[in-house]
Structure 1
Amino acid sequence: MPSLLQLLAPGQSRRLDAAEQWTVHVIGFATGAMLLAIAFGWYVNREIALFLFLGAILSLAFLTTTANPLRPSGRSWLAWGLVALSVAACGYFIAMHPVHEMRLPMIDELSNADIAASAVLIVLVLEATRRCIGMILVTLVLLFLGYAIFGSNLSGAFAHRGFSTQEIVDHLVFSTNGLFGPALEVAAFLVFAFVIFGSLLDRVGGADFFYDVANSLVGKQVGGASKVAVVSTGLYGSISGSPTADVVTTGSFSIPLMIKTGMSRTYAGAIESAASAGGGLLPPIMGSAAFLMTDFTGIPYATIALAALVPALLFYQSVFLAVHFKAHRDGLQPMSTGKTPSIVAILRRDWVYLLPIGLLVWGVLSLNRPSFAGAIAFASLLPVALLRDRSPTRLLKTLFFGLSDGMRGMIGVGVACAVAGLVVGTLSMTDLTGKISSGLFHMAGGSPFLTIIVAAFVIIVLGMGMPTPAVYALSAVLAAPALIALGIEVLPAHLFIVYIASMSAITPPVAVAAFAAASIAKANPVRIAAVACRIAMVAFILPFVFIYQPALLLVGSAWQIIAAAGAVALGVLALNAAIEGYFLVMLDMAKRALLFAAGICLFLPFETAQLGGALALAAITMWLWLSRRTLRAPSEAAPTL
């Protein structure tokens, strides 16, 4: 007999027959074409577009994902029934939109049909969340909904005045603060434009281009396969913005290569997972959480992207150094010793890929319409596809499946943003946000540093088993007010949340990127997640650093920015050497402890500590360099036979 946990576990990908495949493609293409047109400036009523988007996301979720891992992956009439129910529920809101548009929210009463359709839609969203994400997020939503219904029975500070069914439904479904609120709007009107760009770029060979660039740069170095994985994953992830998509795309060839050159299966999966988690932090695209941040804070996306650049580069420096030191410690070989094309030759051959990427970067940084920038970058890929295939028929096919693939790639993000809207709506209705923020501050005893640590812990706990956009949406209303109350500026406070939330992709026990890598590496996903967290440890430290050193976010004079970035870069070097146990030579525990202490000093926001850490690192480096020469001297002096 299957256990209850097995029955409630997330589903697996369904094996679609021809009719189901074409249904998925048609839904994806039609919805994708509509959203792309909106990104180009075509006017569609906001509510109508969101109803269509949610109906498509729910239909695709039920068609492509089984009810649980024990269910057969073939055709399911239950799934088709849920699709029909999703279409009917969203269709009801579309048909009734002229009536609902005229009513006064919270004043005019809802009909029984309105309440019934709303209840059905909420249940469908929760079921799609359970199938695609897991029961953890569903349980969290049910707890918040339970608080809205029964919270008036509580005593003390957490009690509220009580809400009727009419008020709850009105706020969660018929207002702009709930299900159809900012989170779903960002997913439909902003994130999608970049997801389809990444989807089409992959279809026209963009992932291969990034891989060739990485191979030409670092493929012949020690541990070249691992370094190629880090560089190519970072390049592709900066465009896709999705850790799971990054693992599946670049990991499908990088993980087997790493294993072939001597890397263990667990470590190969961990490297790919850690590098993919950073894709949501690296401009120009970053991830859906960064787009949500623009809506929550009102800060232009270009400002967020520029501020995130230095910490993202430091993160990838850390992952690259972790791979470099481990490769030397384990004596791994280069990926290939044969002749590989130079970077100049690759750019001369595939320079055409730089045009849409450059256009995208320009559009994101120069225009105040990120979705339009994504749309024009998507359009600029069409000539690339035509040059590559030299067939208008194949171009149309590429466009059709590119939009379809992009919409399928939106399933997880769309479901997460929809269910996050339910939580955000409940929090705003009950004023639980202020109560939790006050609770966090009191839990930390009023200490600013402890409050930041408690906030990070809450975000990490929320992130276990949840996608990044959902974690950010919840944390932005739970933790951000507490951080801002400490006097922290809005940009570093929310970017702090984005960084911690992004690491949810590799945080055990439920780490979506690690599970995706495990399926390729054929290794234990929990072990992969644990090693990935060690490799990406700096990503957990950097948010604390830029909270106290805003110069890392390009806030301050040129000298302050250079000094802060330089100190942290040296700290990243020292910490990774200490963790991996190699720096010029193999390190014993005493040397590792000294390097670790030097690295921590370089992270501290005090000039004296940074100077002491830099001097200590310089002294240790000289000591190890002399030790290396001493170790080599006997073999160099020995006579050859």
Structure 2
Amino acid sequence: MSAISFIKYIGPGQSRTLGPVARTISRVISLSAAVLFMAIAAGVYVEPFIALYLFLGTVLGLAFLHQTGNVYRPRSTSIFSGLLVTLSLAGCGYMIYSFERLSQRLPVLDPLTTMDIGVSILLILLVLEATRRCIGMTLVILVTLFLAYGFLGDKIDGPFAHRGMSLPEMVDHLVFTPNGLFGPALEVAAFLVFVFVMFGALFDKFGGGDFFYKFANALVGRKVGGTAKVAVVSSALYGSVSGSPTADVVTTGSFTIPLMVKTGYTKTRASAIEAAASTGGSILPPVMGSAAFLMSDFTGIAYSSIVIAAVLPAFFYYFCVYFSIHNHAAKHNLMPGHDVSISSVGNVLRHYWPYLIPLITIAWAVLALNRPSFAGALACLAIVPVMLWKSRPILSLPKQLGEGLSEGVERIVTVGVACAVAGLVIGTLSMTDLTGKISSAMFALASGSYFLTVITAVVVIVVLGMGMPVPAVYALSAVLAAPALVSLGSDVLSAHLFIVYFAAISAITPPVAVAAFAAASISGANPMTIAVKACRIGIVAFIIPLLFLDTPALLLNDGVLQILKSFLITLVACYALAGVNERYMMGTLQRVPRIALLIGIVLALAGSGWVSVAGCLLMLAIIVRQKLTYSISTSQDQLSRKGT
């Protein structure tokens, strides 16, 4: 078995082909959940734990209905999966039935019934099986190790030992307290992430993805390397509301990857550009891969403050990616596809202006209101004009709306499962104090070094991020890595946003680079090669978090002059990095100027005071030199043509 085949085998399953009965069951579950949780987001009160039981039942039921055990299993509906769906709904139904009794008991102190313990174990096993199907075996093994540690911690020696716990104690803590399975991670998925994923699904269902593509094509389609630039802009726009790198690649990449290949890009580079551009959507406000909601819940920082702080880092990411692509296109003379009819920006907006209504609404609501879930509900309501405009005939609207709502609920399944399993890990960490022990171990491993602690944190985040959705990676990493970073003096906002960034770029980090695998399914190129090239194109994403960890000005958390200075220096460094990355900047970058640019980048970004300014001046000198050389070369070419 090859390495790629093995990764596929232990990875998530594939979507099933549902028969009429299974399709009907799926539609009933999805539409019921959509109506309930949209109503909750709009302000209708439902007892939180009952809502969470319903949410988990929905997520598990749909996971078993729609996902096979692995990519090599038959895609038809199986009796075993039907049994798992029944057990999922029955287990969560039991929790709802017992809610009145369970709400009056004192967790851990009052004993559980045998039935309570049995149903709890069943739910934990179902969550693990759903995780295997939706995310892969790697995470199941990791979570199982955490659970085994909670149960057998008294059998080990050393600083990681704890008193150990009986099975009823563990089950009580993991399932019947607000610190485990039905804890903050699942709450955020149900009450916050849900409504924004629904917004993305409805916006996409009624032509939002097509609008983003047409707008991006009008904006940059006529430029050098236009098809690749269209991929960057459209993927950024779509990713800012979808929150999923994989969904972004599949949606926009189905247009952009074949078009890039048609205009001269190799399959590998076209796929890597799309993967890098789509991954950046998870760090782009307002949705930010849904991790911003968890971050707000974990840190107590207002969601609007997180969104504002994330603006500059996201801008620098796409600025560097854009110019890396521009330099590559100019170097290889990759022109836009002239056979494609490209409208003007004004013409696109004139014909598709209704799409601006929900986009303006979501931007305003997220920043102006202190209720993110209600902001998401308003944004969904703002899609109604698009629905009425787009649905022809108008009688097709109910069917399209039902399909959009069902697709939205199906999109939340993987995130919901990931947040549920993250809750099991968080519960184990809290009841064994493993969080503090791991933070102490990280600090000791780094010997108190700030740099080594940061590198250790990066490794932890990237390893945890193998194949996992961004919110789940953040939830696990925040309780493991954030305390160590904060203890060494990092600001809470910087430390947690640092984790969000590396959680996001795990989508292109080998070996389990889900965005690269999604792109490979479209182009047919090697996913590992795509992942490596995508990391190179998006290399700035590995640098920017290291900067704002120590430079609050990049998060707009400093004086105006300091923010302006940091912005200009970082902008010049990103432009220089894009040139170094492709060995081209208005002409070929020879070795000496390339080394000089690298020195300037390091001095500007790693230094402070006059050292940083000196690095910036060095980069500007090389950029001006390249510009003059380019101008002279262009003039000589024009004169030679006239002479001919």
Contact in 2 for aligned 1:178/1:421 (Cα 8 Å): yes
Structure 2 partner of 1:613: 615
Structure 2 partner of 1:442: 444
Aligned AA (1:357): L
Answering whether residue 164 of structure 2 is matched by residue 173 of structure 1, we say no
Equivalent residue runs for 1:596-611 within 5 Å: 596-611=598-613
Aligned AA (2:320): S
Equivalent residue runs for 1:372-411 within 5 Å: 372-411=374-413
Counterpart among 221, 224, 234 of residue 226 in structure 2: 224
Answering whether residue 528 of structure 2 is matched by residue 526 of structure 1, we say yes
Q: CA deviation at 1:9?
A: 4.1
Note closer, same or farther for the CA distance 1:6–1:253 as it changes in structure 2 (3 Å cut): closer
Aligned AA (2:71): P
Contact in 1 for aligned 2:10/2:138 (Cα 8 Å): no
- Where structure 2 has 5 or more consecutive residues not aligned to the other structure, the ranges are none
Q: CA deviation at 1:476?
A: 0.5
Q: CA deviation at 1:7?
A: 6.1
Equivalent residue runs for 1:4-403 within 5 Å: 8-336=10-338, 340-403=342-405
Aligned AA (1:417): C
Aligned AA (2:43): G
Aligned AA (2:107): P
Q: CA deviation at 1:276?
A: 0.9
Contact in 1 for aligned 2:197/2:408 (Cα 8 Å): yes
Counterpart among 582, 585, 592 of residue 584 in structure 2: 582
**SS of equivalent residue, structure 2 residue 549:** helix
Answering whether residue 459 of structure 2 is matched by residue 457 of structure 1, we say yes
Distance 1:7 1:100 in 2: 40
**SS of equivalent residue, structure 1 residue 119:** helix
Contact in 2 for aligned 1:545/1:605 (Cα 8 Å): no
Distance 1:198 1:338 in 2: 28
Counterpart among 468, 472, 475 of residue 473 in structure 1: 475
Q: CA deviation at 1:141?
A: 0.3
Distance 1:438 1:429 in 2: 17
**SS of equivalent residue, structure 1 residue 104:** coil
Q: What RMSD, in angstroms, separates the aligned Cα atoms of the two structures?
A: 1.7
Structure 1 partner of 2:416: 414
Aligned AA (1:218): V
Aligned AA (2:26): V
**Cα shift readout 1:368-410 (whole Å, capped 9, x = no counterpart):** 1111111111011112211222544322122211110000100
Note closer, same or farther for the CA distance 1:336–1:24 as it changes in structure 2 (3 Å cut): farther
**Cα shift readout 1:571-609 (whole Å, capped 9, x = no counterpart):** 111111101111011123333222222222222251222
**Cα shift readout 1:30-58 (whole Å, capped 9, x = no counterpart):** 11111000001111111111111111111
Distance 1:496 1:339 in 2: 41
Structure 1 partner of 2:594: 592
Contact in 1 for aligned 2:244/2:469 (Cα 8 Å): no
Note closer, same or farther for the CA distance 1:350–1:619 as it changes in structure 2 (3 Å cut): same
Aligned AA (2:326): H
Q: CA deviation at 1:5?
A: 7.8
Distance 2:487 2:400 in 1: 50
Distance 2:502 2:596 in 1: 27
Contact in 1 for aligned 2:217/2:230 (Cα 8 Å): yes
Contact in 1 for aligned 2:14/2:68 (Cα 8 Å): yes
Distance 1:160 1:344 in 2: 65
Distance 2:125 2:614 in 1: 58
Q: CA deviation at 1:557?
A: 1.1
Contact in 1 for aligned 2:461/2:473 (Cα 8 Å): yes
Which of 280-289 and 4-13 deviates more? 4-13
Structure 2 partner of 1:543: 545
Note closer, same or farther for the CA distance 1:565–1:163 as it changes in structure 2 (3 Å cut): same
**SS of equivalent residue, structure 1 residue 418:** helix
Contact in 2 for aligned 1:247/1:517 (Cα 8 Å): yes
Aligned length in residues: 641
How high is the TM-score relative to the length of structure 1? 0.97
Contact in 1 for aligned 2:250/2:518 (Cα 8 Å): yes
**SS of equivalent residue, structure 1 residue 262:** coil
Structure 1 partner of 2:488: 486
Identical counterparts, % of pairs? 54
Q: CA deviation at 1:4?
A: 9.1
Q: CA deviation at 1:341?
A: 1.9
Note closer, same or farther for the CA distance 1:601–1:6 as it changes in structure 2 (3 Å cut): closer
Distance 2:617 2:253 in 1: 39
Aligned AA (1:403): L
Distance 2:9 2:223 in 1: 48
Structure 1 partner of 2:517: 515
Which of 593-602 and 414-423 deviates more? 593-602
Distance 1:612 1:177 in 2: 50
Distance 2:564 2:76 in 1: 57
Contact in 2 for aligned 1:193/1:374 (Cα 8 Å): yes
How high is the TM-score relative to the length of structure 2? 0.97
Contact in 1 for aligned 2:240/2:282 (Cα 8 Å): yes
Note closer, same or farther for the CA distance 1:500–1:338 as it changes in structure 2 (3 Å cut): closer
